């Protein structure tokens, strides 16, 4: 069996563990500027945000507005909206980045590898053959084709073009 390590994320995880009890996802929601928070889309119950410490370009997360630590605590409408948002994200990433595959999943709890343990979120990671190389191990450096501002500018128009769903039509804050 081969193992894929991500040593460049250690500093980020250690900072999260030392931080106060504030939630990075809730803090992003409280910002008045979605661009500055890298929030690409707000639904009725969930939002799509760029991962500030991505594994690959276009690394997105879908998270609920409600501060919940477990997916099974989500309401049925929130869970259904998350599935719809996942489909939208996959289509958008496919059209913009043309990945050869995706990793999609949740790390629920510290022992499962969650960096943010108290606010569940779904990761969507674009993958290409050979997207992991020697630079992180030998040089301690990740090489990306774009920064977060460029990724936001590249993806935001596609999320803005999504049809409005639900009774709130993509309201700024949702109920779950």
CATH number at residue 115: 3.30.428.10
Q: Catalytic residue at 123?
A: no
> Could you identify the residue written with the tokens 């370009």?
57
Average of per-residue pLDDT across 9-35: 76
Residue 128: band (very low, low, confident or very high) from pLDDT cuts 50, 70, 90: confident
Tell me whether residue 169 is in a domain. Answer: no
Tell me whether residue 144 is in a domain. Answer: yes
Residue 40: band (very low, low, confident or very high) from pLDDT cuts 50, 70, 90: very high
Tell me whether residue 83 is in a domain. Answer: yes
Residue 58 gets the label, from left (phi > 0), alpha (psi -120 to 50) or beta, of left
- Judged by DSSP in three states, 143 sits in coil
Q: Which domain holds residue 31?
A: 9-160
Catalytic residue among 41, 45, 59, 121: 121
Does 135 have pLDDT greater than 50? no
pLDDT digits (tens, 9 = 90+) for 52-91: 888 889 999 999 999 999 999 999 999 999 999 999 999 9
How many domains does the chain fold into? 1
Output the pLDDT for position 32: 86
Output the pLDDT for position 22: 81
Tell me whether residue 2 is in a domain. Answer: no
Tell me whether residue 170 is in a domain. Answer: no
Q: What is the pTM of this model?
A: 0.77
Q: Are 60 and 41 in contact (CB under 8 A)?
A: no
């Amino acid at each position: 069996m081969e193992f894929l390590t991500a040593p460049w994320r250690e500093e980020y995880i250690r900072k999260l563990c030392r931080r106060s009890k504030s939630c990075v996802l809730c803090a992003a929601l409280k910002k008045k500027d979605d661009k500055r928070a890298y929030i690409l889309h707000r639904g009725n119950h969930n939002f799509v945000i760029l991962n500030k410490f991505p594994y690959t370009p276009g690394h997105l997360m879908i998270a609920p507005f409600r501060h919940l630590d477990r997916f099974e605590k989500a309401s049925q409408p929130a869970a259904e909206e998350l599935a719809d948002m996942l489909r939208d994200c996959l289509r958008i990433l496919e059209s913009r980045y043309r990945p050869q595959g995706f990793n999609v999943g949740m790390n629920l709890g510290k022992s499962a590898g969650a960096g943010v343990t108290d606010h569940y979120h779904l990761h969507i990671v674009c993958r290409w053959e050979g997207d992991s190389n020697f630079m992180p191990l030998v040089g301690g450096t990740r090489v990306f084709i774009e920064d977060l501002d460029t990724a936001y500018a590249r993806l935001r128009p596609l999320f803005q073009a999504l049809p409005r769903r639900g009774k709130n039509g993509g309201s700024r804050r949702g109920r779950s």
